[in-house]
Amino acid sequence: MKYHILFDCDPGIDDAVAFALAGAHPEVFVMDGVTTVAGNQTSERVTGNALKLIAFLGIDAPVARGAAGPLLREIIPAGDIHGSTGLGNCVLPETDRTVVPEFAPEFMCRKIRELPRGERMVLVPTGPLTNIALLLKAFPDCREKIDRIVLMGGSMSGGNITVSAEFNIWEDPEAAAIVFESGIPIVMCGLDVTMQCGFRREQVRQLLRDESEVARAYGEMMNFYFETTVYEKQEKIAIHDAVTFMYLLHPEIFSGREMHVQIDCSEGLNRGMTVCDTRVWSDAKPNALVLLQADSDKFEEYLLEAIHSYR
């Protein structure tokens, strides 16, 4: 099966790994476009990273620059986790590729409208949901040609930026609320499942020693995680964003529950919380498949195969 994909991202180390996974499978993913949103780093940096990544990996896809900040709030980048450039200690080659002269939501709309009759788009957002919310509000006719939204964000059991909230949703909860209330099928790849999916220290060291330029570059990116306060004492890092494409490739290694998810847009303790209704007697209509379990060994195996496919 082939998927038409619009990849909305804020690279970001784990976004970069998601690029490698998607790019290793052109037989599955038709990358109709890449759009960027400020999140892990500023708009300028994440857009530059996206252009360098597609050039480095040989991915043929146009890039459109999107929102420079949340709908209503100030941007608070995650430089402590992804480094000053957004890609840890890795320095990718410069590229002469440039962005298309369209704002990301307009670009996404055009790509969706240009789909052949009977084809539908899969949106894969791995950053704040600002661009997706703008698309849905400004161009509501596009909804009928969106097959589903497979996003990295949220959590049923607790956050990483606060005790209650995951970073992407917390960064722009108003945008997330628009997306979750859109009626479009959603697969939520939140912290419950993404924390199970990653690499161990020795696997990252092996990438650093690899003969492949691509493998070494990804080793340099991911090794930065182990230098941060989040992972300095951990034996395994989470590669959150790659779960989205892995789910599309291998849904059989994941399990979850259909449930109703609401977004807390308050300014209180639970800002950005994805409130998942787990009550079996609830009459709230499910609006998302919330992934909860993953086969970690298979995730590692398939992701390493993808990285090693670049020779």
Residues with a known catalytic role: 240
Q: C-alpha 158: how far from its chain's center?
A: 19
Yes or no: say if 163 and 265 are a contact pair by the CB < 8 Å rule: no
Yes or no: say if 204 and 237 are a contact pair by the CB < 8 Å rule: yes
Residues 127, 128, 132, 134, Cα dihedral to 10°: -140
| Residue 32: φ, ψ to 5° | -75, -20
Number of alpha helices (DSSP H) and beta strands (DSSP E) in the chain: 12, 11
Enumerate the H helices of the chain as residue ranges. 13-23, 43-57, 79-82, 104-113, 130-138, 167-171, 173-180, 191-194, 201-208, 213-225, 242-249, 296-308
Paired residues of 288 in beta bridges: 259
